[in-house]
């Protein structure tokens, strides 16, 4: 007597097999995506590459910030969600500093120098009313951006035309020492 258990058993396992194949393909695809790993080895601004360009296309040297508190993050100009949230947190921090009568320099280092040039960052600043002189949007070479991201513990990678990234905000004191790191989503203004 011949039964069809073998045939129906295969039919039952086909959807599971498809899911496993899809997961395997996803793992293989993700392995091919270059990710800038985060190690956060820098403990001070002096350890970072000093030379960048600002949103006017002018040279900007991080060493000029010696003696100033610095709030730093990384972003890209065409980001529609994560960077907007991070920049709103920075704006809130600016209001908090203003209310307390203290000052800080705000640095936004671009993740995507191939697409976010000086003109793109300048337009970004203008449309978001971020034109105060203590706000600096910086552009570096691909190598400088990747090295700085590694040193500061920012993970990012390109996916199609988007930059996938985290939402860190770093605070350096007047001596250039890293004193606080937070995720932008949970940032509370506990800074002096």
Phi, psi (degrees; rounded to nearest 5) at 107: -115, 130
Residue 133 belongs to domain spanning: 45-186
pLDDT at 96: 95
pLDDT at 36: 36
Phi, psi (degrees; rounded to nearest 5) at 84: -60, -40
Give the pLDDT confidence of 145-191 residue by residue, as tens digits.
888 888 887 765 455 665 544 667 889 999 999 998 776 554 433 34
Alpha carbon distances (Å) from 84 to 39, 47, 64, 152, 184: 25, 28, 27, 20, 10
Asked whether residue 23 falls in the same domain as residue 83, the answer is no
Mean pLDDT value of segment 16-34: 39
Alpha carbon distances (Å) from 58 to 52, 53, 85: 8, 5, 27
pLDDT of 113 > 80? The answer is: no
Asked whether residue 4 falls in the same domain as residue 63, the answer is no
Give the pLDDT confidence of 37-57 residue by residue, as tens digits.
334 566 889 998 899 999 999
Asked whether residue 78 falls in the same domain as residue 20, the answer is no
Domain count, the chain: 2
pLDDT at 110: 86
Residue 190 tokens, joined: 């506990």
pLDDT at 148: 85
Pairwise CA distance, residues 68 & 191, whole Å: 14
pLDDT at 26: 32
Asked whether residue 2 falls in the same domain as residue 62, the answer is no
Q: 191 lies in a domain? A: no
Pairwise CA distance, residues 133 & 44, whole Å: 23
Asked whether residue 60 falls in the same domain as residue 135, the answer is yes
Asked whether residue 93 falls in the same domain as residue 157, the answer is yes
pLDDT at 90: 87
Asked whether residue 4 falls in the same domain as residue 67, the answer is no
Decide if 67 contacts 172 (C-beta within 8 A): no
pLDDT at 40: 55
Asked whether residue 106 falls in the same domain as residue 179, the answer is yes
């Amino acid at each position: 007597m011949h039964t069809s258990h073998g045939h129906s058993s295969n039919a039952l396992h086909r959807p599971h097999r498809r899911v496993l194949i899809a997961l395997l393909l996803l793992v293989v695809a993700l392995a091919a995506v270059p990710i800038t790993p985060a190690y956060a080895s820098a403990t001070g601004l002096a350890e970072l590459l000093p030379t960048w360009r600002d949103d006017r296309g002018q040279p900007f040297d991080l060493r000029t910030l010696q003696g100033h508190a610095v709030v730093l993050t990384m972003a890209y100009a065409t980001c529609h969600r994560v960077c907007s949230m991070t920049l709103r947190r920075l704006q809130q921090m600016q209001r908090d500093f203003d209310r307390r009568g203290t000052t800080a320099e705000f640095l936004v280092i671009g993740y995507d120098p191939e697409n976010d040039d000086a003109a793109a960052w300048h337009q970004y600043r203008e449309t978001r009313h971020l034109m105060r002189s203590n706000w600096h949007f910086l552009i570096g070479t691909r190598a400088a951006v990747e090295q700085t991201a590694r040193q500061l513990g920012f993970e990012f990678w390109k996916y199609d035309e988007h930059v996938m990234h985290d939402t860190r905000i770093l605070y350096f004191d007047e001596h250039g020492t890293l004193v606080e790191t937070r995720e932008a989503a949970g940032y509370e203004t506990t800074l002096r």
